[in-house]
């Protein structure tokens, strides 16, 4: 009995004396921004809603779109403004301009840099939004002042983006080349399948 007690005290002592790693902000080494976003889209005829995970660093961005059953449906990889949209179910992909894809998907054509500054800083480049005819309404979180809800309106189209999580994580965003595994297609075909 005394031996068991001694072993338990030794284990408890060793766990209580462990050094804890400090939380670094921003993290040391390579890191990327992670955003979890819920979206609602309405264009007068149809409605869409879902969840998107967005990871990006200085050079690359990766959007992962989930189905209503919480399965990965599509992935959008972006380097600069060059986008690759992958449909995992049909094993097809499309390569083209990010703004064109966003305009076709939600009727609101924004560059990746404009979307990033809007969701991170709440900065809406007036010239780009005015040129596109897009009205922006921002709601900020009380604690941090970062955008929590972004409403984009263009004509009858309304897109609501709710930022659920925004944090820095260690690592890098690595883009995968799907050209060898999947067949290329037109944007409409990749979106419809």
Q: What CATH number should be reported for the domain holding residue 76?
A: 2.50.20.10
In the chain, % of residues over pLDDT 70: 91
The pLDDT-based confidence of 114 (bands split at 50, 70, 90) is confident
More confident residue, 1 or 116: 116
Region 169-176 average pLDDT: 90
Distance between CA atoms of residues 130 and 136, nearest Å: 10
Mean pLDDT of the chain: 86
Q: How many CB atoms lie within 10 A of CB 184?
A: 13
CA distance 104 to 98: 10
CB 75 within 8 A of CB 86: yes
For 172, the domain range is 26-179
Q: Which of 105, 86, 102 is nearest to 179 (CA)?
A: 86
pLDDT recorded at residue 111: 87
Peptide bond into 26 cis (omega under 30): yes
Cα 35 from Cα 166, distance rounded (Å): 5
**91 domain residue, yes or no:** yes
pTM exceeding 0.95? no
Q: What is the DSSP string of the chain?
A: -HHHHHHHHHHHHHHHTPPPPPPPSSPSSSEEEEEEEEEEEE-SS-EEEEEEEEEE-SSEEEEEEE-TTS-EEEEEEEETTEEEEEETTTTEEEEEEHHHHHHHHHS----HHHHHHHHHH----HHHHHHHT-EEEEEE-TTT--EEEEEEEETTEEEEEEEEEEEEEES-------TTTSEE--HHHHHH-
Residue 91: pLDDT band (50, 70, 90) is: very high
Integer CA distances (angstroms), 13 to 3, 10, 17, 43, in order: 15, 5, 6, 62
The answer to whether residue 3 sits within a structural domain is no
Q: Tell me if 112 is assigned to some domain.
A: yes
Q: Indicate the pLDDT class of residue 96, thresholds 50, 70 and 90.
A: very high
On whether residue 76 sits in a domain, the answer given is yes
Instruction: Provide the pLDDT for residue 19.
Output: 67
Mean pLDDT (whole number) for 2-24: 71
Structure tokens given for 116: 């990033």
Confidence tier at 11 by pLDDT (50, 70, 90) = confident
Query: Using 50, 70 and 90 to split pLDDT, how confident is the model at 160?
Result: very high
Residue 185 placed within a domain:
no
Digit-coded pLDDT (tens) for 35-88:
999 999 998 888 888 999 999 998 899 999 998 888 898 999 999 899 999 999
Number of domains in the chain: 1
């Amino acid at each position: 009995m005394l031996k068991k007690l001694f072993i338990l005290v030794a284990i408890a002592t060793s766990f209580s004396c462990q050094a804890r790693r400090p939380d670094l902000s921003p993290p040391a080494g390579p890191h990327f921004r992670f955003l979890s976003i819920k979206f609602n889209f309405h264009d007068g005829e149809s409605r869409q809603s879902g969840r998107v995970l967005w990871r990006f660093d200085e050079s690359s961005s990766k959007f992962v779109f989930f189905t209503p059953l919480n399965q990965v449906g599509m992935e959008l990889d972006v380097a600069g403004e060059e986008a690759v949209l992958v449909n995992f179910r049909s094993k097809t992909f499309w390569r083209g301009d990010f703004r064109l894809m966003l305009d076709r998907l939600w009727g609101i054509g924004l560059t990746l840099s404009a979307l990033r500054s809007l969701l991170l800083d709440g900065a809406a480049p007036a010239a780009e939004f005015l040129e596109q005819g897009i009205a922006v309404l921002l709601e900020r979180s009380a604690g941090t002042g970062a955008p929590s809800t972004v409403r984009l309106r263009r004509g009858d189209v309304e897109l609501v983006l709710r930022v659920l999580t925004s944090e820095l994580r260690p690592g890098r965003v690595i883009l995968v080349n799907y050209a060898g595994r999947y067949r290329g297609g037109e944007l409409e075909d990749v979106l419809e399948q």
